[in-house]
Amino acid sequence: MLEVENLHVHYGGIHALRGVSISVGQGEIVTIIGANGAGKSTLLNAISGIVKTSEGAMTFKGSPLPTASCAIVKQGICQVPEGRLVFANLTVLDNLMLGAYLRHDHKAIKSDLDRVYELFPRLRERAGQMAGTLSGGEQQMLTIGRGLMSDPELVLLDEPSLGLAPILVETIFQVIEDIRKAGKTLLLVEQNAHKALSTADRAYVLEQGQIVKSGNARELLDDPSIQESYLGVKQ
Amino acid sequence: MAQFLQQMINGLSIGSVYALMAVGYSLVYSIMSFSNFAHGGVIMLGSYFGFYLLTLAHWAFPAAFVGAALCSAGLAVIVERVAYRPLRLRNAPFLYFIISAMGASIFLENFVVATIGPTFRTYPTVLPRAPIEIGSVYIGRLDIMIFIISAVCLALLVYFLDRTKVGKAVQATAHNARAAKLMGINTDLVITLVFAIGGLLAGVAGVMFGMKYTVYPQMGGITIKSFIAAVFGGLGSLPGAVIGSLILGIMETLISGYFSSQFRDLISFTLLIAVLVFRPMGLMGKATEEKA
Ligand SMILES: Nc1ncnc2c1ncn2[C@@H]1O[C@H](COP(=O)(O)OP(=O)(O)OP(=O)(O)O)[C@@H](O)[C@H]1O
Ligand SMILES: [Mg+2]
């Protein structure tokens, strides 16, 4: 579904991605794990058209990915960014409706809104509240819900469980499974490598802007070097 | 008492024009975080557009009014394209925008001096000069018209921002442009739109300012007062810009009415400095950072 080939990204003098190639198949959950600063967010932002690439090619469903971020969203790729980037000065409902900014199918938008409220009942209770007044966890639910409102085919999730209480982490990963069941494809970036590898089908390990390992997520979960670097298991 | 009421009404009228101008400063600031000093130039040219549409093209007043607003909107969009967009695409530091804005402002002023000339021009009389008499209070017809038109424009702006999808997209872009892009919002288009709206209001304000006073190339300098009002109210906050402008307008007329018009501007600038010292975010500006 998504093919990324030999992608390079520079921030001024910093060479953040050095020839990254990944592929994501229809209906898969693919995860990218890596240390802080490895370039995970950069990769998602390159796919979303937020950062410029200096080299490489990306195709989505067989055709080249557009470069403008709005055109990419229109193609059915949405990113749920890290750091709970809600529109704090707007209500929860406004935030969700902005997720559906490019859509005009009012009936379907309404039913997607109900689905988001089912996934996160808390958002329905808080619909009229300013998003900036939500708790951190609620804001994270809102960014995920807002992303789903675009009715994407491919969801890019950037560290959805960061800074959440364990019970909420469970909820988020449950939602990730639900999203997949609804027929969507997911590319998941996570610090919580254990959760990510147990949920995903396939995984890539990113180190200093390069893919150093890839394969079946279960197998990587049992890989001794992964266990040592990312799962905190002492050999 | 009658005199006081009259002063208040004059103050509201001039304050509402400041509000139209201040909102233009605030809108651009809320999206791009810099003070668009070229705005004064657009207001000045808006005044000239209206003047020439009335006197040379002999348009009817309402048509000239709308025409001047549209021309100003176009001009504001051109200024953004030429002076700011290239900087934005290169992620230039904030200071460059300010310098570019000042450059654009000086350019517009001197362009008018060089082409049209430095003379003051007076708008043709559109409304009867005789004031309306209510009890012992005299209210100028022009003041009433200015207040009503400003109020309608501001109400339309609030409706647009708060009630329409595109208005929400403007607010989202103002809050976080990157997140807005992730929603599929074309933020370049939003910026163009914001300049167009600012320009539209600048044209309206320019025509009314020209009718109340005169038209001349340096009149953009006076609009710096509306910038003061925007800072006073809290730059980036629309209610702040409006309230700051009304307060400034009323203060100015009261000071010149009861004291001396010589002190008017002195007091305006003192006000700005005092606000910046004691409350840097202005009356209605955001005091706290949003949650991370
Ligand atoms: N806007 C930027 N300007 C300059 N350098 C940047 C910028 N964004 C990221 N970088 C650098 O690029 C590298 C990769 O950053 P990125 O945010 O992609 O890492 P990450 O893997 O998402 O890390 P984390 O797990 O901490 O979120 C880092 O060294 C970072 O400092
Ligand atoms: Mg990151």
Going from the C-alpha of A216 to that of each of A28, A205, A220, B221, the distances in angstroms are: 12, 11, 6, 67
Going from the C-alpha of B13 to that of each of A119, A199, B42, B66, the distances in angstroms are: 52, 64, 21, 20
Residue A126 Cβ < 6 Å to ligand 1: no
> Domain residues for A68?
1-75+187-235
Determine, yes or no, domain membership for A97. no
* Interchain pair B176, A87: CB under 8 A: yes
Ligand 2 mean position to B100 CA, how many Å?
A: 34
pLDDT over 70 percentage in chain A: 99
- What is the DSSP code (8-state) at residue A200? -
B165 contacts in chain A (CB < 8 Å): 97, 101
Contacts within 8 Å (CB) and 24+ apart, B102-105: B102/B37, B102/B38, B104/B37, B104/B38, B104/B41, B104/B79, B105/B37, B105/B38, B105/B40, B105/B41, B105/B220
* Interchain pair B169, A78: CB under 8 A: no
- In chain A, the number of structural domains is 1
CB atoms within 10 A of CB B216: 22
Instruction: Specify the pLDDT at position A104.
Output: 94
* Interchain pair B182, A90: CB under 8 A: no
Instruction: Specify the pLDDT at position B288.
Output: 41
The whole-angstrom separation of Cα B271 and Cα B274 is 5
Residue A37 Cβ < 6 Å to ligand 1: yes
Instruction: Specify the pLDDT at position A225.
Output: 80
* Interchain pair B171, A139: CB under 8 A: no
Q: What angle do CA A91, A94, A96 make, to 5 degrees?
A: 110
Query: Mean of the per-residue pLDDT values for chain B?
Result: 90
Which residue among A17, A42, A230 has the greatest number of ligand 1 atoms within 8 angstroms of its CB, and so is best to mutate? Answer: A42
Instruction: Specify the pLDDT at position B276.
Output: 76
Please list the residues that pair with A185 across neighbouring strands. Answer: A154
List the single residue in A with minimal CA-CA distance to B237: A89
Determine, yes or no, domain membership for A26. yes
Token look-up 């089908």 returns A201
Instruction: Specify the pLDDT at position B290.
Output: 35
pLDDT over 90 percentage in chain B: 62
Point out the residues of chain A with pLDDT beneath 70: 233-235
- Across the interface, which of A68, A84, A99 has its CB nearest the CB of B183? A99
Structure tokens at B64: 């000239």
Instruction: Specify the pLDDT at position B136.
Output: 82
The whole-angstrom separation of Cα B9 and Cα A171 is 59
List the single residue in A with minimal CA-CA distance to B187: A70
Ligand 2 mean position to A12 CA, how many Å?
A: 18
Residue A38 Cβ < 6 Å to ligand 1: yes
Q: Which protein residue has the closest C-alpha to ligand 1 atom 1?
A: A11
- What is the DSSP code (8-state) at residue B124? P
- Please say if the pLDDT value at position B204 is more than 50: yes
Instruction: Specify the pLDDT at position A234.
Output: 63
- ipTM (interface pTM): 0.93
Contacts within 8 Å (CB) and 24+ apart, B103-111: B104/B37, B104/B38, B104/B41, B104/B79, B105/B37, B105/B38, B105/B40, B105/B41, B105/B220, B107/B41, B108/B38, B108/B41, B108/B42, B108/B44, B108/B45, B108/B220, B109/B41, B109/B44, B109/B217, B109/B218, B109/B220, B110/B217
- Predicted confidence band at B74 (pLDDT cuts at 50, 70, 90)? very high
CB atoms within 10 A of CB B4: 12
Q: pLDDT tens digits, residue range B263-288?
A: 888 887 787 788 778 888 887 776 54
- Please say if the pLDDT value at position B291 is more than 70: no
Please list the residues that pair with B138 across neighbouring strands. Answer: B133
Query: What is the secondary structure of A157-190 as a DSSP string?
Result: EE-TTTT--HHHHHHHHHHHHHHHHTT-EEEEEE
Determine, yes or no, domain membership for A144. no
Containing B189, the helix (H) or strand (E) segment is helix B187-212
Going from the C-alpha of B195 to that of each of B15, B30, B70, the distances in angstroms are: 22, 12, 12
Structure tokens at B244: 């700051």
Q: pLDDT tens digits, residue range A172-203?
A: 999 999 999 999 999 999 988 889 999 999 99
Determine which of A4-18, A42-56, B194-208, B245-259 has the lowest per-residue pLDDT on average. Answer: B245-259
Instruction: Specify the pLDDT at position A90.
Output: 95
Of A17, A4, A3, A2, the C-alpha closest to A54 is A17
Across B71-80, average pLDDT: 98
The whole-angstrom separation of Cα A156 and Cα A60 is 13
Determine, yes or no, domain membership for A223. yes
- A132 vs B: CB within 8 A: yes
Instruction: Specify the pLDDT at position A235.
Output: 57
Q: What topology is assigned to B2-118+139-278 in CATH? A: ABC transporter involved in vitamin B12 uptake, BtuC (1.10.3470)
Please list the residues that pair with B34 across neighbouring strands. Answer: none
Of A107, A79, A112, the C-alpha closest to A93 is A112
- Please say if the pLDDT value at position B75 is more than 90: yes
- Please say if the pLDDT value at position B27 is more than 50: yes
Instruction: Specify the pLDDT at position A181.
Output: 93
Closest approach of chain A CAs to the CA of B166, in angstroms?
A: 9
Across B52-68, average pLDDT: 95
Q: pLDDT tens digits, residue range B28-47?
A: 999 988 889 999 999 999 99
The CATH number assigned to the domain holding A217 equals: 3.40.50.300
- CB A30 within 8 Å of CB A154: no
Contacts of B116 (CB under 8 A, 6+ apart): B48, B217
Ligand 1 mean position to A234 CA, how many Å?
A: 28
Determine, yes or no, domain membership for A227. yes
- CB B240 within 8 Å of CB B285: yes
Q: pLDDT tens digits, residue range B92-149?
A: 998 999 999 999 999 999 999 999 999 999 999 888 888 888 888 888 899 999 999 9
